[in-house]
């Protein structure tokens, strides 16, 4: 399908990125295969500029969130609530638990195993802007670096340090790489780290970039039934508080109030 039907002629990629009324790049990728997948909260394309006004309403529905269910995660809904009041709804994968921390983003196209094991992200909920995550799986956790004998060869540390992970599209078990030993979701479960997919991470990244890092809560919800979310959990619901009774409620956590350096030193001592 054409990216633009305006009488002004086709828009360049940069014009599409700068426009306030276009869908996200990930949504444009989906549109070629499924034109209905780019529907916004009210069944129409949703400008990013309208997200703030909807912060007091129901969860924001992403182009990556399908109402037909989740075949790549835990089969449960998850809501990401921002400190500013905005809520994004998606699907849970990884550990089936809620998490809270500081929201930060990463724009790399590859390198998610290195990013989530980076101690500098300790206590933070990491948002990966690139729309496809998990496609090359996770390499061996036992293989050590030839020079740094106590450091894993393929990671920044021996454990995952992030509090939670947010992605747009997750590959599930459909990964492919000659070094891959498991899926990303399996590794997250091993480490007890929750994650969610189906979130418009580009719009979320723009908000974090414009307003600065903020606190967030990833709240695990009910199992997804075969005919889609109920009225009380549906992302198209206009009642911002109605969904809360069906999702876990945890305290907000500010990692900046903790001594993260000491926690990092403790990890090094344990490894030594």
Higher-pLDDT residue of 4, 58: 58
Q: Looking at residue 262, what is its pLDDT?
A: 66
Least confident span in 138-142, 144-148, 182-186: 144-148
Average of per-residue pLDDT across 214-223: 94
Tell me what the pLDDT averaged over the chain comes to.
Answer: 73
Is the per-residue pLDDT at 143 higher than 60? Answer: yes
Average of per-residue pLDDT across 199-216: 93
* Residue 213: pLDDT band with limits 50, 70, 90: confident
Asked whether 88 and 200 are in contact (CB, 8 A), the reply is yes
Higher-pLDDT residue of 88, 38: 88
Q: Looking at residue 188, what is its pLDDT?
A: 96
* Residue 157: pLDDT band with limits 50, 70, 90: confident
Per-residue tokens: 214: 């903020």
User: In whole angstroms, what is the distance from residue 194 CA to residue 186 CA?
Assistant: 11
Higher-pLDDT residue of 139, 144: 139
* Residue 187: pLDDT band with limits 50, 70, 90: very high
Average of per-residue pLDDT across 4-14: 44
DSSP 257: G
Q: Looking at residue 266, what is its pLDDT?
A: 45
User: In whole angstroms, what is the distance from residue 176 CA to residue 132 CA?
Assistant: 13
Is the per-residue pLDDT at 13 higher than 50? Answer: no
Average of per-residue pLDDT across 26-47: 31
Average of per-residue pLDDT across 199-212: 93
Average of per-residue pLDDT across 119-141: 92
The rounded percent of the chain whose pLDDT value lies above 70 is: 63
Q: Which residue has the tokens 């500013």?
A: 84
String of DSSP letters for 180-222: --B-HHHHHHHHT-EEEES--HHHHHHHHHHH--EEEEEEEEE
Q: Looking at residue 242, what is its pLDDT?
A: 83
Count Cβ atoms below 10 Å from residue 248 Cβ, excluding itself: 15
Is the per-residue pLDDT at 229 higher than 60? Answer: no
Distances (CA, A) of 180 to 87, 150, 177, 205: 34, 21, 5, 28
Nearest to 208 by CA among 80, 122, 109: 80
DSSP 28: H
Is the per-residue pLDDT at 127 higher than 90? Answer: yes
What is the tens place of the pLDDT at every residue in 46-103? 333 333 333 444 555 555 554 445 567 778 999 999 998 899 999 999 999 999 999 9
């Amino acid at each position: 399908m054409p990216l633009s039907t305006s009488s002004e002629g086709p828009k360049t990629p940069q014009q599409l990125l700068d426009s306030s009324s276009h869908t996200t790049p990930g949504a444009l990728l989906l549109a070629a295969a499924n034109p209905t997948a780019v529907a916004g909260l009210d069944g129409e394309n949703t400008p990013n500029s309208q997200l703030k006004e909807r912060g007091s309403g129901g969860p924001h529905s992403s182009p990556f969130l399908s109402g037909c269910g989740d075949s790549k995660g835990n089969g449960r809904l998850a809501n990401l609530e921002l400190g500013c009041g905005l809520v994004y709804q998606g699907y849970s994968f990884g550990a089936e638990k809620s998490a809270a921390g500081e929201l930060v983003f990463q724009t790399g196209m590859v390198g998610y195993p290195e990013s989530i094991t980076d101690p500098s992200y300790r206590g933070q909920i990491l948002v990966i802007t690139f729309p496809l995550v998990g496609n090359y799986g996770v390499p061996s956790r036992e293989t050590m670096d030839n020079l740094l004998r106590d450091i894993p060869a393929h990671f920044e540390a021996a454990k995952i340090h992030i509090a939670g992970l947010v992605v747009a599209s997750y590959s599930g078990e459909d990964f492919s790489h000659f070094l891959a030993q498991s899926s990303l979701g399996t590794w997250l479960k091993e480490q007890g780290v929750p994650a969610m997919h189906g979130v418009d991470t580009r719009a979320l990244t723009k908000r974090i970039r414009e307003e600065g890092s903020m606190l967030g809560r990833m709240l695990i919800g009910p199992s997804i039934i075969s005919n889609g979310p109920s009225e009380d959990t549906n992302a198209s619901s206009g009642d911002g508080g109605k969904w809360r009774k069906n999702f876990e409620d945890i305290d907000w956590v500010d990692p900046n109030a903790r001594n993260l350096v000491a926690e990092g030193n403790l990890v090094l001592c344990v490894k030594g």
